[in-house]
Amino acid sequence: MDLDSLSDEQLIARAVEADGGDDAAAARAALFERYHRKVAGWCLRFCGDRDEAADLAQEVFLRVHERLGSFRGESRFSTWLYTVARRVAINRGEAARRRQADSLDDEAVAEPVDPAADAESAVGNAQVLAAFRDAMRDDLEPLEAKVLYLHYVDGMTLPAITELLALPNRSGAKAYVVGGRRKLERRFGAWLSRQGGAW
Amino acid sequence: MSDETTPRRELADWLRDAYAGGAAGCPPPKAYLADEMAALTAEERSRLEAHAASCPACSAERELARAFDAGETGAAAEDVDFITARLRREAAPLATPAAAPAKPAEPARTGMPSGARVVPFRGRTAAARTWVRFAAAAVLVVAAGLTVRTFYARPPALPAPPPGGVVRGGEVELVAPVAEVAEPPRELQWLHVAGATGYRVRLLAVDDTVLWETKAGRPPVLLPAEVTATLQRGVSYTWSVEALTADGATLARSQPARFRIRPLPEASEAEEDTP
């Protein structure tokens, strides 16, 4: 069987066959061949560092391997693959941030905050969250807002954002983060301090 | 919530929460992939582009989607080769078939970039060895994930969610009720998922019997009085939400959230409190 003549969906059907075996392994390998360089390229863009990107790509394919059986063909495989890759990338960044925050807190001795305030923030502060979104849209330059989102929400590093957006200025994404933060601080800084947060 | 010290919330936390699950009206990030855009009508495409032009989140997600579409274009070939080599070494189950070497894929049909190359596959013994390494890696990844979840999940996972906290599930985040509540809930509240056009909501008994199920357009959903009336104090219930697309496909799911209606004080205790 020439696997190259099969569609992604046909390959997946073979790859997840219950009895596995050589055909399933070959189908998985064919899928890998189709997409691994695409994923590698995206991981490089997302991380901006090839070692990090290699780790990310590895985790992406690990996740694909684990979850291929849950792919139900409701979207294109490439779309599903992107969704997996993006989720893995963001989760990795989130985990790294939390490790870093934990390490910093160990050094600085974090101030205890009333846990109820945190729970309240998710429920009762929907308006505050909407205000953050409004400020991002209305107070910041579009490029500033885009950089802030990629850095703080998606967890990309500043050099990676500079590359992704092909920013020509000398300090790259950092300049936009500084500018954007300053504008948000003007609007939310005092409030955030009252919440026990940091800027 | 436990008595652990809660980390200070910073700007990044607020921004992440502001866009968690997508801001209202935003499509899912995958909508900006070229294949997905191509499936839209011209009018839908221009609406999507107009939205991205005024929405920082979608503008950023569009960049990431375009980067995926670009594949390895623009990336240094030696960096891609480096990653490829690592993948072949360490992500073997997907990369290594037990079959004979495959022919190079046809770029135009498969979407594989033109610079792609295929190296000969390893034999089954090597594949078996890499399976063992892979399994060990998987265990480590799962263990690391569980550790992070255990220590940093905010709030903790079931079965003991914090009072009033948000249960962060697959992608749908359940808000209330969770944990112990004073009165039978009148509504179920969760965070809207971008791109969802409806939700399937289920209320279950502890043995997973479905007590009530409905579809809702947006959160929250009101519990009918006849359902609320059947809820008993001191008994735990769970509920879950599935976000649906316009064609009824599941876009995201929550983890089940558990809540319990606080029992009323015993008569003797109430009498003791009476002066």
Whether residue A74 and residue B12 make contact (CB cut-off 8 A), yes or no, is no
Q: How far is B232 from chain A (nearest CA, A)?
A: 25
| DSSP-derived secondary structure letter, A70 | G
Tell me the whole-structure pTM to 2 decimals: 0.58
Separation CA B19–CA A156 (nearest Å): 15
**pLDDT at B268 (0 to 100):** 40
| Chain B residues 197-226 with CB within 8 Å of chain A | none
Q: What is the mean pLDDT of residues B17-23?
A: 76
Q: What is the mean pLDDT of residues B17-29?
A: 79
**pLDDT at B10 (0 to 100):** 79
Q: What is the mean pLDDT of residues B236-257?
A: 85
H or E element: which one contains B238? strand B236-244
Residue ranges in chain A assigned as alpha helix (H):
8-15, 21-47, 50-67, 77-108, 115-123, 126-138, 142-148, 158-164, 173-194
* CB-based contacts of B203-206 (< 8 A; 24+ apart in sequence): B203/B227, B203/B237, B203/B238, B203/B239, B204/B237, B204/B238, B204/B239, B204/B240, B204/B256, B205/B237, B205/B238, B206/B235, B206/B236, B206/B237, B206/B238
Using the predicted structure, report yes or no on whether residue B96 has a pLDDT greater than 90.
no
**What type of residue sits at position B183?**
E
| DSSP-derived secondary structure letter, A162 | H
pLDDT digits (tens, 9 = 90+) for B159-168: 333 344 444 4
Whether residue B72 and residue A41 make contact (CB cut-off 8 A), yes or no, is yes
Residue B88 confidence class, pLDDT cut points 50, 70, 90? confident
Whether residue A110 and residue B154 make contact (CB cut-off 8 A), yes or no, is no
Q: Angle CA(A37)–CA(A38)–CA(A41) in degrees, nearest 5?
A: 85
Positions in chain A whose pLDDT score sits under 50: 104, 106-123
**pLDDT at A187 (0 to 100):** 86
| Mean pLDDT, chain B, integer | 69
**pLDDT at B112 (0 to 100):** 33
Mutate which: B2, B26, B72, B151, vs A, most A CBs within 10 A? B72
pLDDT digits (tens, 9 = 90+) for B204-228: 887 677 888 888 888 888 888 888 8
pLDDT digits (tens, 9 = 90+) for B104-162: 333 333 333 333 333 333 333 333 344 334 444 444 444 444 443 433 333 333 333 33
Residue B248 confidence class, pLDDT cut points 50, 70, 90? confident
Chain B residue with CA closest to A83: the answer is B30
Whether residue A40 and residue B75 make contact (CB cut-off 8 A), yes or no, is yes
Mutate which: A5, A11, A28, A45, vs B, most B CBs within 10 A? A45
Q: B123 in helix, strand or coil?
A: coil
Top pLDDT among B84 and B97 is at B84
Q: Interface pTM (ipTM) of the complex?
A: 0.86
Mutate which: A33, A46, A123, vs B, most B CBs within 10 A? A33
**pLDDT at B120 (0 to 100):** 30
Residue B72 confidence class, pLDDT cut points 50, 70, 90? confident
Top pLDDT among A54 and B254 is at A54
Whether residue B75 and residue A32 make contact (CB cut-off 8 A), yes or no, is no
**pLDDT at B210 (0 to 100):** 80
**Chain A residues inside the 8 Å CB shell of B97:** 22, 25-30
**pLDDT at A82 (0 to 100):** 96
Give Cα separations from A84 to A133, B68, B112, B162, B223 (angstroms). 25, 12, 18, 29, 34
Nearest to A64 among B90, B94, B154 (CB): B94
